[in-house]
Amino acid sequence: MNRKREAFFNAMSVFIAVLAALLVTLIIIFCVSDEPVEALKAFITGPVSTRRRMGNVVEAMIPLVFTGLAACVMFQAKQFSLIGDGSFLVGALGTAVLVLHFDLPPVVAPLLGIILGGMVGGICAVIPGYLKAKWNANEFVVSMMFNSILVYFTVYVLLNDIRDPDSGFLASFTLPENAKLAVLVSKTNVHAGIFAALFMVVVTTIFMYKTKWGYSIRMVGINPKFAKYSGINTFMVMFSCQIIGGFIAGIGGSVELLGMYDRFQWQDTPGYGFDGMTVAILAANNPALVPIGALFLAYIRVGTDVMARTSNIPNEAVNIIQGIIMILITASAFLSGIKHRMVIHSAKEEKKQVKEAT
Amino acid sequence: MIQQLFTIVFTTSFAYSILRVSTPIILAGMAAVVSERAGVVNIAIEGMMLTSALTGVVVSAGTRSWFTGLLASLLISIFMSLILAYFILNLKANTIMCGLAINTIAKGGTVFALYLLTGNKGASTALKSLTVPQLDIPLIKNIPVIGEILSGQNLLTYLAVILVALLHVFIFHTRMGIRISAVGENARAVESVGISVKKTRYMALLISGLFSGLAGTFMSMGYMSGFTANMTSGRGFIALAANSMGQNTPWGTLLAALIFGAADSASNSLQVLKIPTQFIQMIPYATTILGITLYSIQRSNKEKKTKTKLLNQE
């Protein structure tokens, strides 16, 4: 009963927040656009209007699944670290360096590349994770600062190790065909990375809900003091959950690079770490629901892109929608009154049942 | 190389640039001090800065007065901080998530507005915006070395230093200021003597918004003249770090902001040396992490000591 009620209220608050955000979008469109109906149509039906655009939605969804999972693991332990953003970037960099330096056979190349990307991503999280777990240094600020360092590091490696001087823009040499992930659907870029993403969803869900470690992570998030007194090693939990988050985000970076790009060319974080937080909130921190959250965010992202091309509304509208959704879901107190009444009601029911039984 | 280093660092223009580079971090740092004292980690400083930077540019271009531009940007920043306060305090939303949401909206919303106003997503060059004037200080101006460093700075730089002093007095010597700190230390104890925690936190966030607004205005109407997309580039977060380094005190945070400013200016001028640029650009961020670490170690040791002390007393 209790768990059902929780799930119901989570779903309700997400639903209301999404609705409110779309309403605000509607208002913005009608205020700003000369042809609001056209713009709205582009926003809503644009992503499913052609095969290519449907492909775009799935392509945009894949990296969001990874960073969404990373954020879920960290949020479950109440660790608000942004390291996923940096891990994603450096994970991809690690993969690029590996596949450019070593001539690996097909299948082995992407596999090794992705594993290395994950490991590098995990290593990125060591400093913010350790400082938080050991001395309670604010993980948000430290990871934010550390991400800047990682960006400069990436630019350094790109310039001095893998840069292709003959390329017209700042980018690495072309990645070998052997390493690239296969395209699954013709006329789109939907690549084999989607299997990796769904695999990670399953693994992370099992890890969080069926293993002792996952249980410890959730306990530390619910009540760190209680977790500590009941014998959970809170230091290891806080330390490890950021590293696991970095690992998953790093894999995401590798998959995105090998699936979507011909060269490594990022000179800044692509920002998927941030978006992953929105996805995690939409999924109520439940890894199993991450694909749905990622799909939704990918859909409105492609929708605003289509709208930007057909009307005068810039695609930054997506940030506004994203922000409103985030703030409204976390402010679920607007539902707490109803929730409170429901709790009392169900308690009374139970009491009645007990009375009747005796 | 060392000699080269010295000739760069010991120049008046270097010292002048430290003050200039530090100003937004000092102002945003004060925003962090006030909110952190009330027990709220205000991540939205970054977003408020960005929004007021744009507002200042747009309003000053429209009204042809830098002062109205400044005023408008302060108002918008305070308005945003009140929204943040409403969500955190009335709707009990998670502070960090709300801050992130406000930052996301500000980052996209400023570009959105800029594009609608000027048709350009990158910079506000189409708007003829004004800047807050620079001041020559009469007597100091004529002193050889000091004059070159201290005189001719932006009005907001001087204001920043004055406000640090005022904030120090406010926090440690006024009733409201002491209440704010008390709320941050132990909200329940404060509530039990009949002071409203909510009102106090509202007050703290309002002041925090005011300082964020000043910091943002300086970015687009002092540090640079005009708005560019995401021009605050993480200074709001650096301010939070400066506050950690400065141990939640105005003067400490000022010092931390100056250290950061020095590292940042150094990274600009050290680029003539043969070390790869990227490593020099890391210096300010590495310094900040080091500062936070040292502070956190010190704090956690202190906590341990008090704990053992209390246990021994029993």
pLDDT in tens, A40-58: 888 888 888 888 999 999 9
Looking at mean pLDDT, say which of A18-27, A118-127, A340-349 comes out highest: A118-127
Q: Exposure pattern of A75-101 as b/e (b: 16+ CB <10 Å)? A: bbbbbbbbbbbbbbbbbbbbbbbbbbe
User: What pLDDT score was predicted for residue B5?
Assistant: 65
Query: For residue A43, is it within any domain?
Result: no
User: What pLDDT score was predicted for residue B2?
Assistant: 64
Residue range B131-136: average pLDDT? 80
Q: Which residue of A has its CA nearest to B275?
A: A156
3-state secondary structure of A280: helix
Give the pLDDT band (50/70/90) at residue A124.
very high
Number of domains in chain A: 1
Give helix A290-310 / helix A317-330 axis angle, nearest 10°. Answer: 150
Q: Which pLDDT tens digit goes with each residue over A150-204? A: 999 999 999 998 888 888 888 899 898 888 888 888 888 889 999 999 999 999 9
What's the rounded Cα separation, in Å, for the pair B225 and B223?
A: 7
CB contact at 8 A, B32 and B166? no
Q: Which residue has the higher pLDDT, A84 or A348?
A: A84
Query: For residue A317, is it within any domain?
Result: no
Q: Report chain A residues whose CB lies below 8 A from the CB of B108.
A: 316-320, 322-323
Percent of chain B with pLDDT over 90: 42
Q: Which residue has the higher pLDDT, A352 or A66?
A: A66
Residue range B201-207: average pLDDT? 94
Q: Which of B92, B100, B264 to mutate: most A Cβ within 10 Å? A: B100
Q: Report chain A residues whose CB lies below 8 A from the CB of B107.
A: 316, 319
Cβ B100–A135 below 8 Å, yes or no? no
Q: What is the nearest CA distance from B213 to chain A, expressed in angstroms? A: 20
Give the pLDDT band (50/70/90) at residue A36.
confident
Backbone angles phi, psi at A191, to 5 degrees: -115, 170
User: What pLDDT score was predicted for residue B300?
Assistant: 87
User: What pLDDT score was predicted for residue B308?
Assistant: 84
Q: Which pLDDT tens digit goes with each residue over A219-271? A: 998 888 888 888 888 899 999 999 999 999 999 999 999 999 999 999 988 88
User: What pLDDT score was predicted for residue B314?
Assistant: 61
Q: Which of B120, B278, B283, B301 to mutate: most A Cβ within 10 Å? A: B278
Q: Report chain B residues whose CB lies below 8 A from the CB of A141.
A: 237, 240-241, 244, 292
Q: Which residue of B has its CA nearest to A335?
A: B91
DSSP string, B37-93: HTT---TTHHHHHHHHHHHHHHHHHHHS-HHHHHHHHHHHHHHHHHHHHIIIIIS--
Domain CATH number, residue B204: 1.10.3470
CB contact at 8 A, A68 and A295? no
In the predicted structure, residue A333 carries a pLDDT above the cut 60: no
Query: For residue B179, is it within any domain?
Result: yes
Q: Which of A32, A124, A135 to mutate: most B Cβ within 10 Å? A: A135
Give the pLDDT band (50/70/90) at residue B4.
low
Burial-class residue A187 by CB neighbours within 10 Å (0-12, 13-18, 19+): exposed
Cβ B104–A318 below 8 Å, yes or no? no
Q: Report chain B residues whose CB lies below 8 A from the CB of A324.
A: 101, 105
User: What pLDDT score was predicted for residue A118?
Assistant: 96
| DSSP category for residue B220 | I
Query: For residue B314, is it within any domain?
Result: no
In the predicted structure, residue A1 carries a pLDDT above the cut 60: no
Q: What is the nearest CA distance from B244 to chain A, expressed in angstroms? A: 9
CA A107 to chain centre: 26
Q: Which residue of B has its CA nearest to A337?
A: B91
Residue range B165-170: average pLDDT? 95
Number of domains in chain B: 1
Looking at mean pLDDT, say which of A43-47, A352-356, B46-50, B272-276 comes out highest: B46-50
Nearest by CB to residue B109, choosing from A141, A146, A320, is A320
pTM: 0.88
Query: For residue A307, is it within any domain?
Result: no
Q: Which residue of A has its CA nearest to B235?
A: A145
Q: Which of A142, A330, A336 to mutate: most B Cβ within 10 Å? A: A330
Residue range B234-246: average pLDDT? 88
Query: For residue A173, is it within any domain?
Result: yes
Query: For residue A31, is it within any domain?
Result: no
Q: What is the nearest CA distance from B146 to chain A, expressed in angstroms? A: 33
CB contact at 8 A, B260 and B22? yes
Range of the domain at B151: 2-133+140-309
Q: How many CB pairs under 8 A join A and B?
A: 140
Token pair in block for residue A189: 């870029």
Residue range B243-264: average pLDDT? 88
Query: For residue A322, is it within any domain?
Result: no
Residues of chain A in Cβ contact (below 8 Å) with chain B: 32, 80, 127, 131, 134-138, 140-142, 144-146, 148-149, 152-153, 155-156, 159-160, 274, 277-278, 281, 312, 314, 316-320, 322-324, 326-327, 330-334, 336
Q: Which pLDDT tens digit goes with each residue over B67-112? A: 999 999 999 999 999 999 999 998 888 888 899 999 999 999 999 9
Nearest by CB to residue A316, choosing from B92, B108, B281, is B108
Give the pLDDT band (50/70/90) at residue A335.
low
Q: Report chain A residues whose CB lies below 8 A from the CB of B109.
A: 316, 319-320
Cα-based angle A340, A345, A348 (whole degrees, multiple of 5): 130
Token pair in block for residue B213: 């607004």
Mean per-residue pLDDT of chain B: 87
User: What pLDDT score was predicted for residue A336?
Assistant: 62
Query: For residue A6, is it within any domain?
Result: no
Please give the torsion angle defined by the CA atoms of residues B185, B188, B190 and B192, in that order, rounded to the nearest 10 degrees. Answer: -160
Query: For residue A63, is it within any domain?
Result: yes
Mean per-residue pLDDT of chain A: 88
In the predicted structure, residue B142 carries a pLDDT above the cut 90: no
Q: What is the nearest CA distance from B108 to chain A, expressed in angstroms? A: 5
Range of the domain at A263: 59-295
Q: Report chain A residues whose CB lies below 8 A from the CB of B115.
A: 314, 316
Cβ A274–B104 below 8 Å, yes or no? yes
Structure ipTM = 0.84
Q: Which pLDDT tens digit goes with each residue over A91-106? A: 999 999 999 999 888 8
Backbone angles phi, psi at B225, to 5 degrees: -110, 95
Among B257, B224, B210, B204, which residue's Cα sits nearest to residue B54? Answer: B224
